[in-house]
Amino acid sequence: MFESYIPFPHIDPVAFTVGPLAVRWYALAYVTGVLFCWQYSRWIIKRYPALGIPPEKFDDLISWAIPALVIGGRLGYVLFYQFDYYAAHPLDTLKIWKGGMSFHGGIVGVMMGFYLFSRLHHVSFLRMLDLVSLGVPLGVFLGRMTNFINGELYGRITDVPWAVLFPAGGYLPRHPSQLYEAVLEGLLILIVLNVLFWRTRMIQRPGQLVGVGLMLYAGGRFVVEFFREPDAQLGFVWQMLTMGQILSIPYALLGLFLVLRPRFQRP
């Protein structure tokens, strides 16, 4: 056992510095993901005015989406992953620079922000989600690659030939689960949703694209969690299931509902 493994490629978590400011890969991934999603969605809106979303309103939407993503992601982590600690140290909830974000929580935050925006500006809530879902997976891909660079959220101990020796993982070969997630939760969804958008008429049924995206994300996350090391402070939450798997179940059900929803609507 452990006869072969890949040494962890030590990469500086700081991408570059500007004077006293150190720009980390994680921040760069967030910014790149948001900018790509914004510009790609805006380009689609201009190309297809029939979508009914004015470009200037979409620009305003981004100013809602970013804080909604951060707040939702942070609260999701606090409530589901470190509740006891933050209940005892509530002010630490504000220290987002120390890390601790939940993608499941980020999804909820963005959806709530989009819903409020759609009500105030009279645009289609589901169509906005469909549109943004075309670019979001790139941000997920970059985020998971950054997790790998940081040597965090690594996988369980294994003897597969591509196992990686993470310094923070007790110097035992582990699954590079961050890379699995980058492919299943990011790259695969990016390809599938864009093929569905450009090659089918699914965009004409609001909610279906984002529904497919939610199901793919939930399914990918559920599978990868079997290879990912459970969170140290939680372990297995129920039977052999982790918190990430449990939180993925309602997202899969929501995605299924959105995909099937048009079939039960009156023509």
Name every residue whose Cβ is closer than 8 Å to that of residue 255 and which is 6 or more positions away in sequence. Answer: 210, 211, 212, 213, 214, 215, 216, 218
Q: The pTM is what?
A: 0.87
Half-sphere exposure of 165 (CA within 13 A, CB side): 8
Please check the confidence at residue 4 and state whether its pLDDT lies above 80: no
**pLDDT score, position 266:** 59
Q: Is residue 1 part of a domain?
A: no
Question: How many beta carbons lie within 10 A of that of residue 153, not counting itself?
Answer: 17
Please check the confidence at residue 152 and state whether its pLDDT lies above 80: yes
Domains in the chain, number: 1
Q: Is residue 237 part of a domain?
A: yes
Burial of 234 (0-12, 13-18, 19+ CB in 10 A): middle
Condensed to tens digits (0 to 9), the pLDDT of residues 54-93 reads 888 888 887 888 888 888 888 878 887 777 778 887 887 8
**Side chain identity at residue 118, one-letter code:** S
Domain of residue 44, residue span: 6-264
Q: Is residue 56 part of a domain?
A: yes
**pLDDT score, position 176:** 95
Q: Check if the beta carbon of residue 140 is closer than 8 Å to that of residue 187.
A: no
